[in-house]
């Protein structure tokens, strides 16, 4: 008979999912921040305003930070799973 998931496991899984979701959003933002393209006389960036707000150090691009956060979320989820399975 399976025991219900403890509150600690739920909190760790929620933190892991949040970390991975933020990482995915940062990765997507880092991928989309390419220089604007020029189509004839129309600059494609005219309808798009990029945010100058930096999430992290200029030494680490947002796409790489996003991948780090996704990896951290996956590692945390696996570690929580292994820890709580072993405890049962």
Domain boundaries defined on the chain: 1-33+55-88
Per-residue pLDDT, 1 = 46
Q: What residues are paired with 42 via a beta bridge?
A: 39
pTM of the entire predicted model: 0.68
Exposed / middle / buried, residue 7 (Cβ in 10 Å: 0-12, 13-18, 19+) = exposed
Q: Is the pLDDT of residue 65 over 60?
A: yes
Instruction: Choose from 11-15, 30-34, 42-46, 82-86 the range with maximum mean pLDDT.
Output: 11-15
The mean predicted confidence, pLDDT, of the chain is: 78
């Amino acid at each position: 008979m399976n025991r219900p998931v403890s509150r600690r496991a739920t909190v760790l899984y929620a933190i892991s999912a949040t970390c991975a979701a933020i990482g995915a959003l940062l990765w997507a933002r880092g991928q989309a921040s390419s220089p604007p393209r020029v189509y004839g006389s129309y600059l494609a960036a005219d309808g798009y305003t990029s945010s100058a707000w930096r999430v992290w150090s200029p030494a680490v691009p947002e796409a790489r930070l996003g991948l780090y956060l996704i990896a951290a979320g996956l590692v945390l989820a696996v570690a929580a799973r292994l820890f709580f399975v072993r405890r049962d």
